[in-house]
Structure formats: C-alpha cells, structure tokens
Chains A and B, each alone.
Chain A
Amino acid sequence: MRLVWLNLRRSPIRTALTVLGTAIALGLFCLLEALLNAFNAGVEMSSASRLIVQHKESLTFMLPKAYASRIAQIDGIERIAEGTWFGGLYEAPLPDGGKRQEFFPNFAADMEPYLKLYPELIVSPERYEALMADQSGCLMGDELAARLGKNVGDRVLLRPLIWPNKDGKHWAFTIRAIYTCTGTFDRAMMLFHHKYLDEGRSFGSGQTGFYWVGIQNPEQFSEISAAIDRLFVNSPDPTRTMNEKAFNMQFLSMMGNLKLLFRFIGTVVIFTMLLISANTMMMSGRERTREMAILKAMGFSDVYVFGLLVGESVAIALLGFVLGGVGIWALINLGDWNPKPDFFPIFKVPDAAMYSAVGIAVLTGVLSGIVPGLAALRLKAAAALRSI
C-alpha cells in the first residue's frame, strides 16, 4: 500500500491531473444523479392509497365539479378533494423599481379533505383554524416561505398565467399557515382554497382540474380506478384515474426521457474518464517495465506486481471520487447548495448515487489498471532486463 502511495507521488502533476479528471467526471455523475433525484422527488413522495382523477384527454382539460359526489359513492373510497393547478407567478417590487419574480407550484385545493389526504403536511391546530377561517388565506411550505422572506400574516400577490381574476388584477392571498412535513415531501408549494378560485376567476365556473381520491385499501387500486372511469365513460368529459405515482410521472414524461438523457451523459463522461485513467496507467506501466522486472528478480510474485499497478489505478480513481463525488455530496447535502431552488424543491445527492459512484470509481480503476497490470503480470524478468 505504501509503495502504491509513493508511486503516485512519482509524477505529482500527472497524478494530480488524472485525479482531477476523475474527480470532475464523478462529481458530474453525482450532480446528474441529484438532478434526476430532484425530478423524481414528486414520484418518490407518492402514496399508494391516493388516486388522481383527471380528464381522459389531458390534465389541461377540466372536469365538472359535479363528479365529486358521484365518485364519493363508490365503495372503498375514503375521501375526495378537488384541485386545480393555478400556475400563478409571484411578483414583488424591488427597491430599484424592478420586479422580483419567482415561480413555484401553486394549487387551488379543497383544503379540509386535502389536508386529511396528505398527513405528511404538518400544520399546527391554531394555524389550521386560521387557514380555514379565511377564504383568501393560503398555506405555504416552510422552505418557500423562507425563500420569499414571508411569514404568517404576510400578503402574497400572484400574477395569473392561466386563471385571470374577474377584476383583472393580481390574485392576493394572506399566509395563514406554514407547513413543515415528514419524509421528502415538497416544502416549496403553495395551496389555497378552491372556493376562492371559483369565486374570483373570470371563466371555468363549475369546473375543477382534477380530483385527489383517498382509498381505504391500496390493493383495490385497479378495481376502484376502473369503477371511477366506467362512471363517466360515455359522458362528454371521460376520466382517467391513476395512482399518484403515475400522475406525477406525467410531469416528468413531459420533459422527455430525462433519465435516459442524463444516464447517457453520465456514461459518456465516465467512459472518457476511463480512457484518461487507462492512458495514464499505460504510460506509467510502460515507464516502469524495468522496475517490474527488478521486483520479480527480487522474488515478488507476478500477482504482486499486477496488484501494484491495479492498486495505483484504483487509488487514483478513489482519490478522484473523494475529491469529486464526496465534494459534490458535501456541497449539496451538507452545504444545501441548490442551483435552482424554485425548480428543485428537493435537491440532494441520493445515497444510492454515492454507492454507485464509489463502485464506478473502483471499476474504472480496475479496468484502467488491468492492461498495464496484465503486461506486468506476463512480463518475463530476464527478457525485460535483457532488452533495456
């Protein structure tokens, strides 16, 4: 081990550049995994006991509000809440006369059943009472409130991008409650009363975007989904019922196959890293043919000499992992760095990505060391000493 370490210091600049190349590749891999994880956050926080009912054509088509009572009569359904994607843009004046604009998920929801459907959202009883008592009140995630610098009682103005207000002005809300949550639930959302939307919007009266449906037994998901969709199959607004995970996956699929794209970029980067590392190790191995022959003459076995070169290569890759992989992990997971907090409410490098990165580092080290290692393994000491 000591010899491996000393050999790495033999050409410090070459070793440093190779470690840096590996670090950048593994750092980028961890960053891509964090991005994928951020995109998947909504999918991960899905519950099997919640279904979403939307228009069969697409989420942009609305459903009649009257569906709620008919759906609620189906056996196995515990509760139902209507919801509509509001998609408003936060605007606040800046001291220099400009406007601060922020985008974050904002929904109109049937607040009482919604909060029962989502026990992950934690709201104190007093705040809950205050929220329910104010029709223009809203509920905001603690991370979003911190980002906007808002607190309970503050006003929030949203510029409508989908639902214009009857008076043509911005929609005004008062923060009545701030939620925290358990698990990986999005803490950067804003929710407000659906009734407020219904009464204020200039069109779309009597319609809702979708329904959240809670079921008693997640194993009955297929039958209940089919039963809901059967109810409206011949109506002008047929429905498509899916579990929450599938619903959230829709948003990901709107962006194309991100997973494939990211993995492709990751693979290309890692393959490049492999070539850099292999090139370094082959140069290093070739330069030290004589040393390998001497070690064998001294009595070191072929396997030892092989292990020495592969060990060096693995050590370089692991140093790269520590610098790049662990560095990015520390920056994101410990330092809370987030390149776009409004877009990625949850931004962490998952543990699985770190295990993969260390596995890739070891594998790359072994693969790039294997060619010079095998050459050293097969090296005939007498021939090597004679030829030099």
Chain B
Amino acid sequence: MSVEPIVDLQDVTKIYYKGDNEILTLDHVTLQIQQGEFIALMGPSGSGKTTLLNLLGGLDTPTEGRVTVCGQDLSLLSARELARWRADHVGFVFQSFNLLPVLTARQNVELPLTLQSLSANERETHAETALRVVGLGERMDHRPSELSGGQEQRVAIARALACDPNLLLADEPTGDLDAKSARDVMHLLKRLNESFGKTIIIVTHDPHAAEFARRELHLEKGVLHMERTR
C-alpha cells in the first residue's frame, strides 16, 4: 500500500515581478516528502530555498503548479482558511527567533495555542510541556532579552511545536547562533524527528547543520539539482 506524501509539489514555478523584470525563483520543481522525514534544503543565496519553504507553509502561492501539504491542495484555500490551516498543521522557526519581546518564554509558546480551542490551564500545560521538551523547563518566566541566542531559538522551536504540527519548517535556524548553540539546536531538531516523528524541513547554508538531516536537497537558480540521502 503506497503512503501519501506529506508534501507533494507538482511542477511548481514561482516568478516575482520587480517593475518590468521577471525574477524566476522556482523553475518547475516537483518534489515529494514523506511523513517523518528530516530534510535539509541547501543552495546558494537567491536559489529559491526560502521561497520553497514559504510555499510549503502556505505563506506564498506558486505562479504555476500545485502545492499539496498534509493532503490539502493549498491553492483551494482562502487567506483566512490558509491562516487557520497553518495554525493547525505547520510550525515555523526563523533565523532570528522572532520571539515577542514583551512576552515571557511561556507566553510566547502559549501564543499560537490561543488559536486552538483550549482552556487557559490547558494552554499553560501545553506550553510548559513544549518548553520542557526543548530543555527550558527552568526558564519559562524569562523574557527573550534574558535568554541567550541558543535558548531563544529553543523557545522559538517550542513555540513551533506547541500546537503539535505535522510539519516543522525552519529557515536558517542556526544562522544567528554560535557553533555550540547551533549544534545543540540541530540535536534538538534531530531528537524531535527521531523521537516524536516530526517531519522537519530546514533551509540552511551550513553543511554541518545539514549533516543532521536524513535527506539533502540542493537548489540552484530555482531548479532542484541534486539529492543526497543518508
């Protein structure tokens, strides 16, 4: 019996328009990713990695082709439905953490949970669990300014995990971190993939970070060139 892929890109093209210029960012990309995979998306700057990630997260729409994630053709959803779908199915981790500075670690993690029909107590329990999973059980009431870069990124990962998404998308998650913190974050992502079965896709320039993934995809000028599986 064939298993339906969690991500199915069919002949996806993305063109940006800057004035009269067309910028081809993705060129007829076709890709399937199975549930539970850990993918590293690599390539030089401007190769279309982040665009691909945004398409998978429903933050952007393709110029041509079809993007199906978690069994849902994203082109069929309105902006409001897409927002709701993201809240239920996707967790984002960004290079510069992007925690809300006015909220504590716990409150930052609770934030996406406010979109779910949960009581305040349930939200708090979920947030605390997510923070313990990333090893920050002791720093729940600290604000981002009171945390190190590595800890901030772990809070961001806990926030992405809080709603128990099917898919975790990370854009350069180690880009702003020192080598040790970067390694810690990659170990954490690997553990989330292996122990909790999370499907994870990271965009990275860093070959050391990419080594944690089980499959590497290389993009160049919007074309998927090469795959490597460990």
Spell out A's residues near B (CB within 8 Å). 3, 6-7, 9-10, 290-291, 294-303, 380-382, 385-386
The distance from the CB of A87 to the nearest CB of chain B, in whole angstroms, is: 63
Q: Which residue of B lies closest to A298 (CB)?
A: B112
A9–B103 alpha-carbon span in the complex (Å): 11
B-side contacts of A302, CB under 8 Å: 79-80, 83
Residues on the A chain within 8 Å of B133, using CB: none
Q: Beyond A7-B102, A10-B102, A297-B92, is A385–B59 a contact (Cβ under 8 Å)?
A: yes
Q: Is A291's CB under 8 angstroms from B98's CB?
A: yes
A294 with B94: CB separation less than 8 A? yes
Q: Looking at the complex, which one of B59, B79, B112, B163 makes contact with A382 (CB distance below 8 Å)?
A: B59
Which residue of the partner chain B has the closest CB to A386?
Answer: B50
Please give the residue numbers on chain B whose beta carbons come within 8 Å of chain A beta carbons, in ascending order.
50-51, 54, 57, 59-60, 79-80, 83-88, 90, 92, 94, 98, 100-103, 111-112, 115, 159, 163, 171
Contact flag A296-B102 (CB < 8 Å), given A382-B59, A385-B59, A386-B50:
no
Q: Is the interface of A mostly helix, strand, loop or mixed?
A: helix
Contact B100 A299 (CB under 8 A): no
Cross-chain contact of B101 among A10, A299, A301 (Cβ < 8 A)? A10
Min Cβ gap B162→A in Å is: 10
Known: A6-B103, A290-B98, A385-B59. A298 touches B50 (CB 8 A): no
Closest chain-B Cβ to A375's Cβ sits at a distance in Å of 16
Q: Which of B86, B88, B102, B115 contacts A297 (CB 8 A)?
A: B86
The residue from A10, A298, A380 contacting B92, defined by CB atoms under 8 A apart: A298
Inter-chain contacts of B98 with A (CB < 8 A): 290-291, 294
A300-B102 in contact given A381-B59, A382-B54 (Cβ < 8 Å):
no
Q: Which of the listed residues A290, A296, A302, A381 has the most CB atoms from chain B within 10 Å of its own CB?
A: A381
Report the nearest A residue to B82, measured CB to CB. Answer: A299
> Are A301 and B102 interface neighbours, CB within 8 A?
no
Q: How far is the CA of A358 from the CA of B92 in the complex (A)?
A: 41
Q: Which residues from B are CB-within-8-Å of A295?
A: 111
By a CB distance below 8 angstroms, the chain A residues around B85 are 299
Which of B50, B83, B92 gathers the greatest number of chain A CB atoms within 10 Å? B83
Pairwise interchain contact A9-B111, C-beta atoms closer than 8 A: no
- Please state if A385 and B94 are interface contacts (CB–CB under 8 Å): yes
A3-B163 Cα distance, complex, nearest whole Å: 19
Pick from B50, B60, B84, B171: contact of A299, CB below 8 A. B84
- When distances are taken between beta carbons in the complex, the residues of chain A under 8 Å from B84 are 299, 301
Contact residues in A for B102 (Cβ distance below 8 Å): 3, 6-7, 9-10
In the assembled complex, the Cα of A291 lies from the Cα of B59 at a distance in Å of 15
23 example contacts (A-B, Cβ-Cβ < 8 A) are as follows A3-B100, A3-B111, A10-B101, A10-B102, A295-B111, A296-B59, A296-B83, A297-B59, A298-B87, A298-B92, A299-B84, A299-B86, A299-B163, A301-B79, A301-B80, A301-B83, A302-B83, A381-B54, A382-B51, A382-B60, A385-B94, A386-B50, A386-B54
Task: Determine the distance from Cα of A178 to Cα of B169 in the docked complex, in whole angstroms.
Answer: 83
A114 to B102, CA, bound (A): 69
- A3: chain B residues at CB < 8 Å are 100, 102-103, 111
The answer to whether B59 touches A299, judged by C-beta atoms less than 8 angstroms apart, is: no
**Nearest CB in chain B: distance from A3 CB, A:** 8
